[in-house]
Every structure is written in structure tokens, then in C-alpha cells.
A = this chain, B = another copy of it.
Amino acid sequence: MWRYSAPLREMQFVIDEWVGAARDWREIPAFASLDGDSVRDILAEAARFAEDVLAPANATGDREGCHWNAGQVSTPTPFPAVYRQFCDAGWPTIACAEEDGGQGLPQLLNAVFYEMCYAANHAWAMYPGLAHGAYECIRNHGTDALKATYLPKVVSGEWLATMCLSEPHAGSDLGLIKTQAVEGPDGGYALTGTKIFISGGEHDLTPNIVHLVLARLPYAPAGSRGISLFLVPKRLGADGAGPVNGVYCDGIERKMGINGSATCVMRFDAAQGWLLGEPNRGLAAMFVMMNSARLYVGMQGLGHAEAAYQNAYRYAAERKQMRLTTPPPAGMATPTGPAVPILMHPGIRRSLMQMKVVIEAERAMAYWAAHLLDLAEHHPSETRRRESHDHVSLLTPIIKAMYTDNGFKLASQALQIWGGYGYLEDYGVEQTVRDSRIAMIYEGTNDVQAIDLVVRKVVVDGGAKLKSLLVHLSAESVQAQECGHRVQRLAQRLHQLHAEIVQITDFVSESAALDPEFPLKVGGDFLRLVGLGLMASFWCRAARVCEPRATDDRFSQEKLSSAEYFFDSVLPETNYRLELLRAGRCTLPWMDAPL
């Protein structure tokens, strides 16, 4: 049956060696006292929560779904109790500042915790998943009064939060939103309008819900320059025991997946709210929240892939079909009986290897990005802070889009390993496929991510910032030149790939100057190319780190051969993307209606 086990050894390897976070933590006063044992303890505790509390509620959440009745929403039976355990254990507070009642731990650990949560129960994890972004948003943009009322409750998890952006006619194009905010006599505002696709807009997990709402002030400029951000609570009053606000849940959506997460239609009817940040600067304020939300959506893709992979592996080790065409390698017993575990068949092994090497590189890169968030905020050197910020701003759209594409693709690839059983509800993997599909859409569709990367972050400076990120590829390839021949071979390929990506970055900038449509056509190919390049540099590093001890350590042996497998059998996609990028200059016909 479907279950989840946190890959603790992999996670620890990434933190300790692949990213090497502790080295940087020692330079940051807030984290200097963090030792290896505490990290290990936190992760072990997180694993127990994900495995024993969250995962068992995953299938139930899917089957029961949420129920709407006269504006009230009930979540699946086990969800409220799971949420209480989550708060009681202090999980909401991990990465919040100590002065706000948080534990002041690195974002990195919060990201690892959420990888586990998303893998174990994506729908449930949607409820607290936005809380950290809301915390950052209120912390950075709220008045002292707002902070005093809302920050402690959000940090403790006592109240949950939402992001209210989309309206029926305004999805990717937030410039079209119509919700109105009118200033009242007391400095507050009255908000009126309808928002859709609001995850956790209404539920039975917390007595109050803090909505962060985009709306227009009277006479605001048209488009995205006329949008302001407001804090609108479900219940008013300093302790949330005041009157009910004019916030109504008019219904919840029936969806392909994440059925345990209530996707709400929210109506604001002269609801009382307070401005967060400057008038008409709401999108900028919201993007603080959005950027970390996008990174966490990327973690969802990673979680889906990991959960699908480890369940598929377990099934493949149990299910027996067919005989072997060649004997197994030395040291492995030749199986007897009419059929062997399908794990021994080359096609299945290949499929599992493809998943494994993608998942592990994704994990390394995601933890690195989360670590960069910590460096951008806490590192004493301003240069390191700025550089970390620039890097993470490039990594965010890549992680969001590439990981969620892969989450869906690898979940489906895993399903295939079950054959017909994979299509049945009983085995859990079809739920992973359905759940994973939303992550390609929300928090900015993956097409929007590609445009964000190419148009706003690459073409805009002729690729300067990207090239400074890509220096990691060449630096890694130089370091790996010192190693044995197996690693050197990878380093040479990485060196060449670095040159190819730099060259095509110039080609993209030049093409965009000739034709503004160009980056809109091939943004997705460019995003994947850069993502694969970064993964290659991570695999090269793993090979470099593991090679010296590969002779007598099985874990290191496997990392080295995984790195080789990635380079030989996954990395060819870069040539394909390069070819598609060059083809982006070809004509894209305008289409007639098909019928």
C-alpha cells in the first residue's frame, strides 16, 4: 500500500555535503550555534510527523474531500486533529524570527520540513503552506498595530492565512482585477469584490483566517500599477473574537485532485480591511509572499516525485513477472521460480534510475535555493546577501516550473510501473498524479514562470545576472578536473555545457531584440535548459565529493554511478532544448479555427 518514508539520509547528505550549509551558518550569528545533532533531531521529528500523522490522512482526504454548507467548509475528518498536532509540535514557528515568537531556524529546515509534508499529504499541507509567506508579508509591510494583532497568531499557527489574487476574469493578468477598496473614517478600508481559486479561503482548522487581498483604490491607475494589498480578517477584533467580517465563502470547487484542500470562491462585501504597504504598490508587496510561495510549490513537485518514486520502487521489488534475459551482476543471487521481481528488468530499472537522478539533483538545488534565502536575509556580508538574492530570484521560476512539470511527469512514469493496478484508487499513485497536476498551474502557471525568467530576469540585463549564476557550472567543472577520470569526464561535459548555455543566452537576448515574441515562444525550453545545466553541476559536485570514498562505501558508489547515469542518459535533453531554442526563430503560423 501507499506510504511515505522521509529519505533522511539523502536529505542530510544534501544539507551537509551537497549544499554544505553548516559552513555558511557558522558565519551567520543567528545560526552559528546550530549544530549537526540539532538538525538531525529536527529532521527526525519532522519525518515522524510526515510519516505517522500526515501520510495516513492522505487517501482519506482525497476520498472524503471538503464539504461546503451555507458558507461553512468542513475539511476531511482527520485534518483538524492533524493540524492541532502540527501546531502543538511548534512546526509553524520554525523559520519565524525569535522576536515574533518563532524559533529563528533557517528557511532551509522549513523547506526540508515542507518537502516531507507535500510528499506525505499535499492537500493538507496547502492549509499551512501559505502561512510563512503571509508572515513575511505582514512583517515587512504591516503597521505596528497590525503586526501586534496578527503576527503572533500567524506565527503560532493559531490563525491561518490566504492569498486572494485571482478573479473570474483575472488570472495570469492581475492588472484586470476589479475588487474595490474604499477608505473609511477610521483609516481602515471597506473591500467589495469576488475572488476565486482561494486555497483555504474557508475551513474548520482555525477560528480566524487572515486574508491578504489585492484590490483597487478609487481613482487608482488602470492595470497592475493600480493595485493595492489589504489585510482582511475573517473575524474582527484583536483576539479574533470580535464581530464576523463581511467575508463570505460562496462555494468550493470540484477538482481533479487535492480534494482535501478547499478551493473557495470568496465574496467580500464591504469587508473591513487594512492597507499593507503603499497604495498602488500591492503587487510588489504581494510578490514578497509570492516568491517564497513559488519556491514551496516547487517543493511540492519534488515531494510528488519522491513519493511516487519510493512507492514504485517498493512495488517493483515485490511484483513478479517474466524471467531475466541476462544473469544479474556478480554478488546478486540469480532468482529462481517462474518470474522475477520486475525491479530486475532493464526497462523498470531504467525508469526508476531516471526518477532517482532527477529527484536527487532537484533536492540539492531546492535546498540550495532555500539556503540562499537564508543568506540573502542573514549573511553579514552585503555582497553575499545581494548575490544570494540575485541567484534565488533566477532559481525561483526554474524550480517552480521545472519541478512541478517533473512532479506530474514522474508521478505518471511511476504509475506505469504498477501497470493496471496503478490506475486504481487503491494504490495511491493515481492520486499523486492528480494532485501533482495543479502545481503546474497555480502561483503563476509554468508558462508565466518561463516568461518571468526569460523576459524579466534574463533579457532585461542581457543575461548578466544569469551568467553570474552559471559561473557555478564552470567553477564546479574546474574543481572536478582535479579528480579521477570518471569525474573528469563529467567535468569536461559540464565545461562544454556551460559554454553552450552562455552562448544560447546571448542568442536569446539578440533574438528578443529582433522579435519581442521570441522569448514568449521558447521561454520554457530555455528554463529547462538552464535547470538541467544546474542539475548537471550538482551531480558533478556529488561525484567529486563521493569519488574518494566510493571504493568501500555503497552510498558513495551509488552517488557516483548516479552522476554518470544523469550525464549519459538525462542530460542529452539539453541538446534537444538547444535545438528547439534555435528553431524558435522559425515562423509560428497564425491559426484558423479548427472547425
Interface residues of A (CB under 8 A from B): 5, 7, 166, 169-173, 175-176, 196-197, 222-223, 253-257, 309-310, 313-314, 317, 320-322, 325-326, 328-329, 332, 338-339, 343, 345-347, 349-350, 352-353, 356, 408, 412, 415-416, 419-420, 422-426, 430, 433-434, 437-438, 440-442, 445-447, 450-451, 515-517, 520-521, 523-524, 554, 558, 561-562, 564-565, 568-569, 572-573, 575-576, 579-580, 583, 586-595
16 A-B contacts (beta carbon < 8 Å): A7-B595, A254-B426, A255-B424, A255-B425, A310-B594, A325-B517, A328-B590, A343-B591, A346-B588, A353-B591, A419-B445, A422-B441, A434-B434, A565-B587, A565-B589, A569-B583
| CB-based contact A593/B423 at 8 Å | no
Query: In whole Å, how far is A204's beta carbon from the nearest beta carbon of chain B?
Result: 23
Given A408-B412, A515-B326; A346-B573 close (CB under 8 Å) = no
State in angstroms the CA–CA spacing of A310 and B593 once bound together. Answer: 9
Given A569-B586, A583-B569, A589-B562; A520-B437 close (CB under 8 Å) = no
Given A338-B222, A416-B441, A591-B353; A255-B325 close (CB under 8 Å) = no
Q: Which residues in B have their C-beta under 8 angstroms from that of A425?
A: 253-256
State in angstroms the CA–CA spacing of A576 and B569 once bound together. Answer: 11
- Further contacts, 17 of them, CB under 8 A, given A173-B321, A197-B420, A356-B591: A172-B419, A173-B322, A176-B321, A222-B338, A255-B425, A326-B517, A329-B590, A349-B589, A353-B588, A416-B440, A420-B441, A422-B441, A554-B592, A558-B589, A561-B587, A565-B587, A576-B579
| CB-based contact A441/B412 at 8 Å | no
A584 and chain B: residue at smallest CB distance: B569
State in angstroms the CA–CA spacing of A595 and B322 once bound together. Answer: 26
Q: Which residues in B have their C-beta under 8 angstroms from that of A433?
A: 256, 437
| CB-based contact A568/B591 at 8 Å | no
Q: Which one of A356, A423, A425, A564 has the highest number of Cβ atoms from chain B below 10 Å of its Cβ?
A: A423
State in angstroms the CA–CA spacing of A594 and B360 once bound together. Answer: 11
Given A176-B339, A321-B176, A442-B420; A561-B589 close (CB under 8 Å) = yes
State in angstroms the CA–CA spacing of A157 and B524 once bound together. Answer: 49
A359 and chain B: residue at smallest CB distance: B594
| CB-based contact B349/A523 at 8 Å | no
| CB-based contact B419/A437 at 8 Å | no
Given A416-B440, A516-B325; A255-B423 close (CB under 8 Å) = yes
Query: In whole Å, how far is A61's beta carbon from the nearest beta carbon of chain B?
Result: 16
Query: In whole Å, how far is A336's beta carbon from the nearest beta carbon of chain B?
Result: 14
| CB-based contact B586/A568 at 8 Å | yes
State in angstroms the CA–CA spacing of A321 and B175 once bound together. Answer: 9
State in angstroms the CA–CA spacing of A576 and B572 once bound together. Answer: 7
A355 and chain B: residue at smallest CB distance: B594
Query: In whole Å, how far is A440's beta carbon from the nearest beta carbon of chain B?
Result: 7
Query: In whole Å, how far is A468's beta carbon from the nearest beta carbon of chain B?
Result: 27
Shortest 5 CB-CB distances between A and B: which pairs? Answer: A576-B576, A173-B321, A256-B430, A568-B586, A572-B579
Contact partner of A594 (CB less than 8 A), chosen from B254, B356, B434, B565, is B356
Contact partner of A517 (CB less than 8 A), chosen from B314, B346, B447, is B346
Query: In whole Å, how far is A386's beta carbon from the nearest beta carbon of chain B?
Result: 30
Query: In whole Å, how far is A281's beta carbon from the nearest beta carbon of chain B?
Result: 21
Q: Which residues in B have their C-beta under 8 angstroms from that of A520?
A: 325, 345-347
Query: In whole Å, how far is A339's beta carbon from the nearest beta carbon of chain B?
Result: 6
Q: Which residues in B have their C-beta under 8 angstroms from that of A568?
A: 583, 586
A63 and chain B: residue at smallest CB distance: B254
| CB-based contact B583/A572 at 8 Å | yes
Q: Which residues in B have their C-beta under 8 angstroms from that of A575?
A: 575-576, 579
State in angstroms the CA–CA spacing of A588 and B570 once bound together. Answer: 12
Given A7-B594, A7-B595; A256-B423 close (CB under 8 Å) = yes
